[in-house]
Structure 1
Amino acid sequence: MQEERERRPETPAEADGTTGLFTALGKMLKRLRERKGLTQKEFGVLVGYGPDAISSMERGVRLIRPEVLEKADALLDAGGMLADAIPEVREAMSRARTRHPEWYRGYADLESQAKALHVYSNQLVPGLLQTEGYSRAVFSQWRPLLGEEAIEKRVVDRMARQQVFQPGGASPTFSFVLDESVLLRPIGGAEVHAAQMQNLVRIGSFRAVELQVMPMDREEQPSMDGPFNLLTARKGEQVAYVEIHTYPRLITDAEEVRVLSERYGLLRAQALRPSESLDLIDKLRGSL
């Protein structure tokens, strides 16, 4: 059964047969960047991404957004080779947001079209905020152990979900409340942890994102039952999602959703303000 699960298509790219597209685009991007004499860090600055993200794109692990292809085509003198792939990439991204394991698909469909998403986490950095290195460390520690191929598939899937962020244009509203303990747990080691903290500051600076930290010294904690997500769908209805030991539950009952919404409001009220939270994260990152 374990082997069967690992052989199943689990990533959007694999499920839709677009793995080759992003692998080819990644190789082309790398070749053009090197021909131009740019490092991954230098190129990342020009297109608005960090070197880890550029590395992921060049290896086909992360979907390359259309605006990156458009900028890269001009910056790297690609002569339209990258820009011409934008229609296919848009189609692949649309499928990627909805092609997930069956048990997760209902929530994934809603998340990809949500007007607002609010997340509370007291164990890990939420998947939408994870770096590739952090995500790989999480899946590498999974029990029972996953094979290397399965780990890579799940990392790709997680990175694909992050296409919901549109920092340069219209975007859903996001808010995250993280327990301070999440920031103190160096999953993946010091280097991975430092990169993850930097990524939190980066995403937390997006106009559509509010990221708050719940300090360890708070004497009250309104959600001792654990993490949860609140999602407002396009038609305005709100649902909740919880997952414990890979057992997912999509909550649509109005009263249950109301209770979690009330808890989330209390969490936000007791947490540090977004600016204070980013300052704390930056301070903790600087001490690593």
Structure 2
Amino acid sequence: MDEAGWDVEPGDEIEPVVQAVGRLLKVCRESAGMRVADLGEVTGYGEDMIRKMENGTRIPRPEFLDRADQVLRAQGHLRAFAEDMRKARYPKKVRELAHMEGRAVEMLLYSTHNIHGLLQTPEYMRALYEVRHPPLSEDVIEREIAGRVGRQSVFDREPAPSLSFIQEQVTLERPIGGKAVLRRQLEHLLAVSRLRRVSLQIMPTEREEHAGMHGLVEVLKFSDGTAIGRSEGAFNGRPVESPRDLRILESRYGMIRAQALPPRESQAFIEQALGRL
């Protein structure tokens, strides 16, 4: 992957902003009397990448904008767009999800096959993306990881949302990326489980009664009383917002939570899983 940035997704609403940054970059470069090759030489990027950025088809990394601002003496005009480009590098679907998670005051999150994205370490994320079929390009993997890591800022919010996670036992045992990656992932789970606004529960495989056999359940509640939710086994997997549909999802989640191990027992379960690695 070229370190200059990521390609713009066609039709993305962020595209006009990326194009505006590209035009500004070109104006600053020409005002400084530099050719594309000159800017490439001093910043360490190829001419083709710089042309793509100036044409608005490539999203510049914040680090590139900072360097270009210095080299072109842009007086902070390029650097001012660093945060916008940091958000633009996330895939559109990730930005939309991050926006909703950023608004939520309460989240109910039940995961089946993998550790939930908000709980994943970067190493675990990479391992998951690298086993995808058909294989993903390195560029796509890097962009997806950046987006997922960015979503985890939800833990740093003030006031913090109330977060309830339920994980299937198998997600603690499948060594995605190898045992070392899994060990660090489980250590991270323990650390997160001890946060005051987080409840983390484990659903043991031995449970004979299990209300989550239809797949993941997610419900995000907002401060204005509205909410949005989805489940693989309800409403054809599409997001729902009506009070009636949300009651169904919350009822299902409540039953799964009642059947799972309580938080303290879940922490002990994770510690035991660590001891077996």
TM-score exceeds 0.5: yes
- 2:228 is aligned with 1:239: yes
Following superposition of structure 1 onto structure 2, how do residues 29-178 of structure 1 map, counting pairs within 5 Å?
92=83, 96=87, 100-103=90-93, 105-166=95-156, 170-178=159-167
Question: Offset at 1:171?
Answer: 0.4
Kindly indicate whether the alpha-carbon contact (under 8 Å) linking 1:100 and 1:108 is maintained by their aligned counterparts in 2: no
- 2:8 is aligned with 1:8: yes
Q: 2:256 aligns with which of 267, 273, 282?
A: 267
Q: Can you give the 5+ residue segments of structure 1 that lack an aligned partner in the other structure? A: 1-5, 26-87
In structure 2, the CA distance between the partners of 1:175 and 1:99, relative to structure 1 (3 Å rule), is farther
Kindly indicate whether the alpha-carbon contact (under 8 Å) linking 2:91 and 2:147 is maintained by their aligned counterparts in 1: no
In the alignment, the residues of structure 2 paired with residue 22 and residue 194 of structure 1 have an alpha-carbon distance, to the nearest angstrom, of 35
In the alignment, the residues of structure 2 paired with residue 99 and residue 237 of structure 1 have an alpha-carbon distance, to the nearest angstrom, of 29
**2:140 is matched by which residue type in structure 1?**
A
TM-score normalised by length of structure 2: 0.68
In structure 2, the CA distance between the partners of 1:265 and 1:208, relative to structure 1 (3 Å rule), is same
In structure 2, the CA distance between the partners of 1:217 and 1:129, relative to structure 1 (3 Å rule), is same
Q: How many residues align?
A: 215
In structure 2, the CA distance between the partners of 1:179 and 1:242, relative to structure 1 (3 Å rule), is same
Question: Offset at 1:99?
Answer: 7.5
Structure with higher RCO (Cα < 8 A, 6+ apart): 1
Q: Can you give the 5+ residue segments of structure 2 that lack an aligned partner in the other structure? A: 1-5, 19-58, 68-79
Kindly indicate whether the alpha-carbon contact (under 8 Å) linking 2:95 and 2:147 is maintained by their aligned counterparts in 1: no
- 2:196 is aligned with 1:196: no
Kindly indicate whether the alpha-carbon contact (under 8 Å) linking 1:113 and 1:233 is maintained by their aligned counterparts in 2: yes
In structure 2, the CA distance between the partners of 1:152 and 1:107, relative to structure 1 (3 Å rule), is closer
Identity of aligned residues (%): 34
SS at match of 2:104: coil
In the alignment, the residues of structure 2 paired with residue 109 and residue 197 of structure 1 have an alpha-carbon distance, to the nearest angstrom, of 27
Kindly indicate whether the alpha-carbon contact (under 8 Å) linking 2:214 and 2:232 is maintained by their aligned counterparts in 1: no
**1:120 is matched by which residue type in structure 2?**
Y
In the alignment, the residues of structure 2 paired with residue 130 and residue 104 of structure 1 have an alpha-carbon distance, to the nearest angstrom, of 15
1:113-145 residue CA offsets vs partner (Å, 9 max, x unmatched)? 110111001110000000000000111111221
SS at match of 2:195: coil
In the alignment, the residues of structure 1 paired with residue 213 and residue 106 of structure 2 have an alpha-carbon distance, to the nearest angstrom, of 24
The alignment yields a C-alpha RMSD, in angstroms, of 3.4
Question: Offset at 1:8?
Answer: 3.5
